[in-house]
């Protein structure tokens, strides 16, 4: 049943917290999903949220912790002692989730929490994961998996699987390794059950398996899982030894994070920020690209200042400055957005850079012809000035053509340079095309009106 958080529910819960009614509070949360409990905690004060959270304990508390937004989670964890974080929450998590939580803590608190974990092997797994780049395959993988030796018999394999399965939530694949831990392939549970117990694993496993090194960027991991329709992907070191696995739910989180990051870049926001962050981080994330916009506005004003006398004499030219700037910016953003979307979906392997540029050139040419023709007939009918009509029409044709090609080329170039192509969208393209659009417009106007610059 869908849970709906109401004002009455919150007030009732706050009253129970004030009365320290632990039994009643626990009964409220018995059937609630961790995401719903996280939503409730979000509207409570830090002390109220801490109180109900400590009543949960165990696996449910760890699941709720993973649902809390990162910024809130950091503040919340700082209010808890290391032994509570370790024994009530971390010990119930898979190694990858636990590593994410510990990663958010201050360095000194990280070590204290690791020291408080009673399971030494789990603490070691978490420490290992913290050594990897958090946006690499090693940083997002989980250590929990089921592996068997290629030299084992089916009977021994079944016994080992039953023991290992206690630490694994979902068994998607059984991985086959050799004596030194090198990944050899995967084993089908169906084939394992149907094969005679004396048969050797080396004779029945499938050696055709996809894997990634620990330093593979998380975006590439997501692309591989999506392309080959996998539910889990093994991670190996550079010697081919099995180190962990990445499951499809981890990839969903990656895709969401990358989409949010790209959307922020398109909107002119740098860094990874959320509405729950404090005022200064939110402000700091917006300032860089707003500075680009300010610089672009100043440059545009300088261009118009050069032609100030001409614009005063031929005031009709000034009427279409907003049109030229707007079309230049919009066309550039459209082109760059399509290219970035194609790259993000793995399209970089489908077409060469030249093919993309040729296709976008064709689209740009048709678009430029359509809109320059429309504006030509509009000015021909409404304006008694053929110089102005030709100036606006020719300028719009050149601006659309250039802006479209520029918007295509820049993200492709950034992608070749291993820079996030999403940087090419939004303020960067808009500001650049605004300036160049104005320059083109005034140069064409100078030709048709026989203007002098000064």
Which of 372, 292, 387, 297 lies closest to 327 in space, CA to CA? 372
Residues 174 and 86 occupy one common structural domain: no
- Structurally, the chain folds into a number of domains equal to 3
Contact 159, 173 (CB under 8 A): no
Residues 302 and 416 occupy one common structural domain: yes
Which of 135, 147, 143, 142 lies closest to 222 in space, CA to CA? 135
- Write out pLDDT tens, residues 93-135: 888 888 888 888 887 888 888 888 888 888 888 888 988 988 8
Domain final position from 207, 225, 257:
257
Question: Residue 1 domain-assigned?
Answer: no
Residue corresponding to tokens 């395959």 = 137
Question: Residue 77 domain-assigned?
Answer: yes
Residues 333 and 413 occupy one common structural domain: yes
Task: Give 346's Cβ-side CA count (13 Å radius).
Answer: 11
Domain final position from 106, 135, 164:
135
Question: Residue 273 domain-assigned?
Answer: no
Task: In whole angstroms, give the CA distance from residue 146 to residue 165.
Answer: 7
Residue 378: per-residue pLDDT: 92
Question: Residue 274 domain-assigned?
Answer: no
Residues 323 and 433 occupy one common structural domain: yes
Contact 423, 263 (CB under 8 A): no
**CB burial of residue 410 (10 Å; 0-12, 13-18, 19+):** buried
End-to-end Cα spacing for the chain: 73
Residues 253 and 288 occupy one common structural domain: no
Which pair of structure tokens corresponds to residue 81? 């002692």
Task: In whole angstroms, give the CA distance from residue 366 to residue 368.
Answer: 5
Q: Which residues of 149-177 are buried (b: 16+ CB within 10 A; e: fewer)?
A: bbebebeebeebbeebeeeeeeebbbbbb
Task: In whole angstroms, give the CA distance from residue 112 to residue 109.
Answer: 5
Q: Which residues pair with 327 in a beta bridge?
A: none
Q: Return the CATH number at 47.
A: 1.25.60.10
- Write out pLDDT tens, residues 301-321: 887 787 777 777 777 788 888
Residue corresponding to tokens 């008694």 = 384
Question: Residue 199 domain-assigned?
Answer: yes
Domain final position from 116, 135, 154:
135
Question: Residue 141 domain-assigned?
Answer: no
Residues 298 and 320 occupy one common structural domain: yes
User: Is the dihedral angle over the CA atoms 422, 428, 432, 434 positive or is it negative?
Assistant: positive
Question: Residue 392 domain-assigned?
Answer: yes
- Print the domain residue range for 432: 279-449
Contact 331, 367 (CB under 8 A): yes
Task: In whole angstroms, give the CA distance from residue 31 to residue 139.
Answer: 33
Residues 294 and 441 occupy one common structural domain: yes
Q: How far is CA 258 from CA 100, 113, 144, 145, 244, in A?
A: 17, 29, 25, 26, 22
Contact 186, 206 (CB under 8 A): yes
Q: Return the CATH number at 442.
A: 1.10.357.20
Which pair of structure tokens corresponds to residue 137? 């395959």
**CB burial of residue 315 (10 Å; 0-12, 13-18, 19+):** exposed
Residues 24 and 129 occupy one common structural domain: yes
The single-letter DSSP state of residue 206 is B
Edge-first strand order for the sheet with 183-187 is 146-149, 174-177, 183-187
Question: Residue 268 domain-assigned?
Answer: no
Could you tell me which residues come within 8 angstroms of residue 24 by beta carbon, excluding any fewer than 6 positions away? Answer: 16
User: Is the dihedral angle over the CA atoms 225, 227, 231, 232 positive or is it negative?
Assistant: negative
Residues 112 and 12 occupy one common structural domain: yes
Which of helix, strand or coil describes residue 104? coil
Strands 242-247 and 232-236 come out as: antiparallel
Residues 66 and 208 occupy one common structural domain: no
Residue 239: per-residue pLDDT: 92
Residue 433: per-residue pLDDT: 82
Per-residue pLDDT of the chain (454 residues; tens, 9 = 90+): 567 788 888 889 989 888 888 888 888 888 888 888 888 888 888 888 888 888 886 778 888 888 887 777 777 787 778 888 888 778 888 888 888 888 888 878 888 888 888 888 888 888 889 889 888 999 999 888 889 999 999 899 888 888 887 777 778 788 999 999 999 999 888 888 888 889 999 999 999 999 999 999 988 898 888 888 888 899 999 999 999 999 888 888 777 777 666 665 555 555 555 555 566 666 666 677 677 777 877 887 887 787 777 777 777 788 888 888 888 888 887 777 777 766 666 554 445 556 767 777 888 899 999 999 999 999 999 888 888 899 999 999 999 988 888 888 888 777 777 766 666 566 777 788 888 888 888 888 888 887 665 4
């Amino acid at each position: 049943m869908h849970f709906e958080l109401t004002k009455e529910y919150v007030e009732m819960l706050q009253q129970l917290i004030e009365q320290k009614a632990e039994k009643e509070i626990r009964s409220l949360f018995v059937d609630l999903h961790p995401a719903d409990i996280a939503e409730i905690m979000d509207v409570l004060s830090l002390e109220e949220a801490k109180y109900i959270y400590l009543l949960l304990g165990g696996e449910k508390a760890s699941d709720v912790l993973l649902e809390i937004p990162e910024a809130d989670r950091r503040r919340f964890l700082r209010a808890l002692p290391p032994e509570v974080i370790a024994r009530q929450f971390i010990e119930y998590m898979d190694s990858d989730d636990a590593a994410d939580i510990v990663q958010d803590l201050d360095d000194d608190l990280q070590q204290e929490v690791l020291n408080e974990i009673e399971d030494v092997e789990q603490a070691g797994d978490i420490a290992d994961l913290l050594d990897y780049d958090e946006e690499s395959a090693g940083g997002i993988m989980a250590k929990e998996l089921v592996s068997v030796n290629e030299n084992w018999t089916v009977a021994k394999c079944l016994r080992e699987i039953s023991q290992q399965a206690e630490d694994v939530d979902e068994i998607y694949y059984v991985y086959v390794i050799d004596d030194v831990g090198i990944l050899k392939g995967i084993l089908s549970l169906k084939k394992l059950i149907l094969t005679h117990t004396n048969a050797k694993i080396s004779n029945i496993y499938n050696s055709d398996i996809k894997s990634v090194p620990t330093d593979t960027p998380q975006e590439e991991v997501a692309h591989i899982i999506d392309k080959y329709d996998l539910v889990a992907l093994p991670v190996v070191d550079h010697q081919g030894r099995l180190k962990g696995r990445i499951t499809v739910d981890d990839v969903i989180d990656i895709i969401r994070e990358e989409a949010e990051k790209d959307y922020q870049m398109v909107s002119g926001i740098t860094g990874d920020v959320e509405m729950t962050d404090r005022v200064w981080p939110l402000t700091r994330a917006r300032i860089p690209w707003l500075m680009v916009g300010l610089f672009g506005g100043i440059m545009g004003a300088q261009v118009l200042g050069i032609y100030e006398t001409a614009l005063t004499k031929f005031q009709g030219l000034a009427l279409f400055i907003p049109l030229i700037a707007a079309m230049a910016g919009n066309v550039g953003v459209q082109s760059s957005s399509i290219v970035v979307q194609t790259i993000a979906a793995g399209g970089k392997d489908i077409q060469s850079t030249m093919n993309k540029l040729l296709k976008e050139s064709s689209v740009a040419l048709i678009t430029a012809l359509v809109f320059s023709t429309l504006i030509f007939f509009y000015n021909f009918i409404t304006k008694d000035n053929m110089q102005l009509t030709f100036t606006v029409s020719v300028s719009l044709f050149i601006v659309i053509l250039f802006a479209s090609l520029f918007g295509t080329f820049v993200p492709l170039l950034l992608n070749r340079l291993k820079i996030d192509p999403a940087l090419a969208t939004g303020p960067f393209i808009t500001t650049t095309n605004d300036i160049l659009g104005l320059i083109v417009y005034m140069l064409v106007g100078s030709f048709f009106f026989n203007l002098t610059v000064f």
